Amino acid sequence: MVKYPKDVKEKALARMMAPNNEPVAKLSRELNVSPWRLYTWRKEALQAGVVAPGDGRNAEVWSGKAKLAVVLETAALSEAELGEYCRAKGLYPEQVRGWREVCEHAFDQPGGTNGKPDRKRMRELEKELRRKDRALAEAAALLVLRKKAAAIWGEGGDE
């Protein structure tokens, strides 16, 4: 196992995480550190509580877990503190506000939607079910009448 100096790990983490957010492949070539080692260091940092996953992607494609962590960290911050936090993480305050709004409305909407498509589909299915029930009841009534007619007049009926 290769031992890396502590400053190499710190430098790599600083460049992988926001606001730099450099891709692992690029860092691997520049620092002469294997990509799997960089991924391990990043995973350890995320488990230690660093919420900005620096994987070369912009903040809008972060995992929901990372976005929720940012919302929780910034919930009690003032506007000035939020701006400072966002600058440190490479975010925009509007992104954080949008994520917060999504979190606030998440429990208001069943199934992640406003419920209208679900209710509309439910009404359509209930309507179809009632139509089929009526058709089945009509078919059953015709069978009963046919049996009674056969019992009264016999099978032929043309005599």
Cis bond upstream, residue 93 (ω within 30) = no
Identify the segments of the chain with pLDDT beneath 70: 1, 17-21, 49-59, 61, 109-116, 156-159
Give the amino acid at 67. K
Summarize pLDDT for 130-144 with one digit per residue, the tens: 999 999 999 999 999
Q: DSSP letter for 5, please.
A: -
Amino acid identity at 154:
G
> What pLDDT was estimated at residue 65?
78
The two structure tokens encoding residue 53: 């996953």
Neighbour-count burial for 26-43, b at 16+ CB within 10 Å, e otherwise: ebbeebebeeebbeebbe
pTM: 0.44
